[in-house]
Amino acid sequence: MSKPMSFEEPIIKLKEKIDELRELAKNADVDMSDEIKTLEERLRQLEIKIYSNMEPWNRVQVARNPERPTTLDYIKEIFTDFIELHGDRYYADDEAIVGGIAFFDGQPITVIGHQRGKATKENIRRNFGMPHPEGYRKALRLMKQAEKFRRPIICFIDTKGAYPGKAAEERGQSEAIAKNLFEMAGLKVPVISVVIGEGGSGGALALGVTNRIYMLENSTYSVISPEGAASILWKDASLAKQAAEAMKITAQDLKEMGIIDDIIPEVPGGAHRDPVSQAKILKEYLKKGLDQLTALSEEQIIQDRYDKFRKMGDFIEEIVQ
Amino acid sequence: MAIKSLLNLNRKKTKGVIVNSKNESSFPADLMTKCPSCRKIFLTKEIETNLKVCPNCDHHFKMTAWERIDSFLDVESFTPFDEHLRTTNPLNFPSYIEKVEADMKKTGLSEAVLTGSGTLKGEEVVVAVMDSHFRMGSMGSVVGEKITRAIEKATEMQVPFIIFTASGGARMQEGVISLMQMAKTSVALKRHSDEGLLFLSIMTDPTTGGVSASFASLGDLNIAEPKALIGFAGRRVIEQTVREKLPDDFQTAEFLLAHGQLDAIFHRKEMRDKVATIVKLHRKGGVTHV
Ligand SMILES: [Zn+2]
């Protein structure tokens, strides 16, 4: 059982109460099944109420849950014969991004994603899923390789952002991200991205110039973290909850703004409650997206991607006299 | 042509000349200017007629978009594009539009970038000039759209695209829509590039965040002005993350050049000549193989 998040407290409390009652009934040998039934029904309603109507800040908590399935968890469930490929061929292998080749329902594909660790040790090795330039350059190498062999590409987005470090700047963090945006625009194969956790700024977008963009129901995609926005707006990072609302970062917000194509529903309580079932749901969306895109010619695939990003923006054309 | 006589000739509207940002001087900006680098005090006019470069220490003051156009393109050759695009408030941020309108008034610009076509020593080019006096040059929908349209126009006209960047990055008040402007401009640049056309990115102080991590870094040649601040993450954020003091020249143009991130640094006084030469070197008519 995963650790509860603060907004889940009423559920946890009620569950404890039901357990207590059960224990009591057993020990005292009295029939309390009616009371227990009533409480169980109340629990069911409460879960529906809380999980189906989550505040943006609650979704941020779910998206950041350490036990939330990562790229490698989904790869294991969705693809077969995955072989991880390492390195950017220039400098290093950045473990904050993983990638490789695998079968998707018998079809060869390339899969790439941000990768955070679950325990501290792995998190340090993977730099908490915050890539250096070599991570983005590895991703681009694998994308160009996929293009050569005409494999579709699946990208999983799950990062707080590109790493803000000295070495990252020295090796061209800006250039690495920019080059991915530019080169992804020209890929002749279908590319789909799925935001599975946090989609933090340019470091997320560097895997996101794709024909289809999906977001898991409790994932976020933003130009700046809620804490960052709060400290700029109100000089107080503790107002992150308010910033999460103001910045419109949830899957529902992005769908409304027309930026993403679909919201992938999560299992009740969030993907971490049942990663296997979650992967099955995700797989259906990937299948649907790939079916649509493999019907297109190379030119149409590039045009489709161009049209998608070309229309992003919100402005007025003032009528000129 | 003397550079001094270039100033003001391209200008079609009257613009307030902005010499100092608030922290650069406490003197009446219209009369005297203190160089933030060498601390010497000059007549503002003396700096203006010197391409806003300190006569003593070569410090490059921030230019307005119109000053850049005037000092860079051929006299009266500039035609602006898309001045009719207006910013909206997609996230309903309090007083966002008021701030934008105040900067429109202050700078005479419609947004933080001025785009258009003109000639550079006779060569037709499309240019975009960002202006950090307008909302720190940050990129929202209008900036992204104007730059994208300018790139598309350059592609259609089959001419080079030249951008002078000056930006703190994505515009937070437009949220994730501003992030997507990085992708929009980049997909347009890819098309321009696929046509074999030249894109020059000229980074001026400051070029950071989402602008640095998109078109600013995508030039066939990436050029910068001396000492310009260029980088992805902010210095303070990096210092807090890595818990070490960063070198003084960290994220300067010179630092980037030393780390292989730039093709060249051009002094403002040689910018027009050097860039014109680069454009001439990229005229169509390279080697053709039968
Ligand atoms: Zn000086």
DSSP string for chain B: --HHHHTTTS-SS--------GGG-SS-TTTEEE-TTT--EEEHHHHHTTTTB-TTT--BPPPPHHHHHHHHSPTT--EE--TTEEE--TT--TTHHHHHHHHHHHHS-SSSEEEEEEEETTEEEEEEEE-TTTGGG-B-HHHHHHHHHHHHHHHHHT--EEEEEEE-SB-GGGHHHHHHHHHHHHHHHHHHHHTT--EEEEEEEEEEHHHHTTGGG--SEEEE-TT-BEESS-HHHHHHHH-SPPPTTTTBHHHHHHTT--SEE--HHHHHHHHHHHHHHTSS------
pLDDT > 90 in chain B, percent: 84
User: B67 CA to middle of ligand 1, Å?
Assistant: 19
Q: Are B87 and B104 in contact (CB under 8 A)?
A: no
Q: Is the model's pLDDT at B12 over the cut of 50?
A: no
pLDDT of residue B83: 96
- Residue B277 lies inside a defined structural domain of this protein: yes
- Residue B5 lies inside a defined structural domain of this protein: no
pLDDT of residue A23: 87
Q: Are residues B46 and B98 in the same domain?
A: no
Task: Suggest the residue from B93, B135, B178, B180 to mutate for an interface test with chain A (most A CBs closer than 10 A).
Answer: B180
CA angle B92, B97, B102 (to 5 degrees): 160
Q: Are residues B78 and B49 in the same domain?
A: no
Strand boundaries in chain A, DSSP class E: 80-84, 97-104, 107-114, 153-159, 191-200, 212-216, 220-222, 262-264, 315-317
B18 band by pLDDT with thresholds 50, 70 and 90:
low
pLDDT of residue B28: 59
Query: B252 lies in which domain range?
Result: 62-282
**Which residue in the set B84, B187, B241 is minimally distant from A306, CB to CB?**
B187
Q: Are residues B181 and B91 in the same domain?
A: yes
DSSP state of A126: T
pLDDT of residue B25: 44
pLDDT of residue A50: 85
Q: Say if the Cβ atoms of B232 and A254 lie within 8 Å.
A: no
Annotated binding-site residue? B87: no
Domain count for chain B: 2
Q: Which of A16-30, A71-85, A142-156, B99-113 has the lowest mean pLDDT?
A: A16-30
Q: How far apart are CA B167 and CA B210, in angstroms?
A: 9
Average pLDDT over residues A272-291: 97
Q: Are residues B232 and B260 in the same domain?
A: yes
- CA-closest candidate to residue A198, choices A139, A149, A130: A130
Residue B15 neighbours by CB distance under 10 Å:
16
Tell me the HSE value of B163 on the side-chain side, using a 13 A CA sphere.
Answer: 33
Question: For domain A66-311, which architecture applies?
Answer: Alpha-Beta Complex (3.90)
Q: Which of A30-39, B19-28, B63-72, B109-118 has the lowest mean pLDDT?
A: B19-28
Ordered by start, the domain boundaries in chain A are: 6-53, 66-311
Q: How far apart are CA B215 and CA A298, in angstroms?
A: 25
Q: What is the CATH number of the domain that holds B204?
A: 3.90.226.10
| CB contact set of B116 (below 8 Å; sequence gap of 6+) | B69, B78, B79, B80, B81, B126, B127, B150
B3 band by pLDDT with thresholds 50, 70 and 90:
very low
User: A53 CA to middle of ligand 1, Å?
Assistant: 59
Residues of A in contact with B252 (CB under 8 A): none
A1 band by pLDDT with thresholds 50, 70 and 90:
very low
- State how beta strands A97-104 and A80-84 pair: antiparallel
- Residue B17 lies inside a defined structural domain of this protein: no
Average pLDDT over residues A115-140: 96
Q: Could you report the per-residue pLDDT of B137-156, keeping only the tens digit for each?
A: 999 999 999 999 999 999 99
Q: How far is B90 from chain A (nearest CA, A)?
A: 7
Q: Are B52 and B19 in contact (CB under 8 A)?
A: yes
Q: Could you report the per-residue pLDDT of A7-50, keeping only the tens digit for each?
A: 888 888 998 899 888 888 888 888 888 888 999 999 888 888 88
Q: Are residues B154 and B201 in the same domain?
A: yes
Q: Are B197 and B177 in contact (CB under 8 A)?
A: no
Q: Are residues B182 and B277 in the same domain?
A: yes
Task: Suggest the residue from B165, B171, B186 to mutate for an interface test with chain A (most A CBs closer than 10 A).
Answer: B186
Give the residues across from B79 on adjacent strands.
B117
B2 band by pLDDT with thresholds 50, 70 and 90:
very low
- Residue B82 lies inside a defined structural domain of this protein: yes
Q: Say if the Cβ atoms of B217 and A172 lie within 8 Å.
A: yes
pLDDT of residue A290: 97
Terminal CA-CA length for chain A? 66
ipTM of the complex: 0.93
DSSP state of A248: T
B126 band by pLDDT with thresholds 50, 70 and 90:
very high
Q: Are residues B83 and B185 in the same domain?
A: yes
Q: Is the model's pLDDT at B13 over the cut of 50?
A: no
Average pLDDT over residues B265-273: 98
Question: Domain end: B43, B61, B79, which one?
Answer: B61
Q: Is the model's pLDDT at B213 over the cut of 50?
A: yes
pLDDT of residue A47: 86
Q: Are residues B96 and B234 in the same domain?
A: yes
Q: How far is A254 from chain B (nearest CA, A)?
A: 8
Q: Are residues B51 and B78 in the same domain?
A: no
**Which residue in the set A163, A181, A254 is minimally distant from B176, CB to CB?**
A254
B9 band by pLDDT with thresholds 50, 70 and 90:
very low
Residues of B in contact with A314 (CB under 8 A): 88, 90, 141, 174, 177
Q: How far apart are CA B232 and CA B238, in angstroms?
A: 10
- Residue B7 lies inside a defined structural domain of this protein: no
Question: Higher-confidence residue: B157 or B4?
Answer: B157
Q: Are A210 and B187 in contact (CB under 8 A)?
A: no
Q: Could you report the per-residue pLDDT of B196-209, keeping only the tens digit for each?
A: 999 999 999 999 99
Torsion sign, CA atoms B73, B111, B139, B169:
positive
Q: How far apart are CA A142 and CA A113, in angstroms?
A: 11
Residues of B in contact with A220 (CB under 8 A): none
Tokens matching residue A287 = 């299948």
What's the mean per-residue pLDDT of chain A? 94
Q: Is the model's pLDDT at A245 over the cut of 60?
A: yes
Q: Are residues B173 and B204 in the same domain?
A: yes
Q: How far apart are CA B180 and CA A223, in angstroms?
A: 9
Average pLDDT over residues B38-66: 96
Q: How far apart are CA B80 and CA B69, in angstroms?
A: 10
pLDDT of residue B29: 58
Strand, helix or coil for residue A234: coil
Q: Are residues B140 and B85 in the same domain?
A: yes
DSSP string for A31-47: --HHHHHHHHHHHHHHH
Q: Are B63 and B204 in contact (CB under 8 A)?
A: yes
Q: Are B219 and B201 in contact (CB under 8 A)?
A: yes
> pTM, whole model, 2 decimals?
0.92
Q: Could you report the per-residue pLDDT of A186-226, keeping only the tens digit for each?
A: 999 999 999 999 999 999 999 999 999 999 999 999 999 99
Q: Is the model's pLDDT at A305 over the cut of 60?
A: yes
Q: Are A308 and A211 in contact (CB under 8 A)?
A: yes
CA angle A117, A94, A91 (to 5 degrees): 165
Strand, helix or coil for residue A303: helix
- Residue B94 lies inside a defined structural domain of this protein: yes
Gyration radius of chain A over CA positions: 22
Q: Are residues B67 and B55 in the same domain?
A: no
What's the mean per-residue pLDDT of chain B? 91
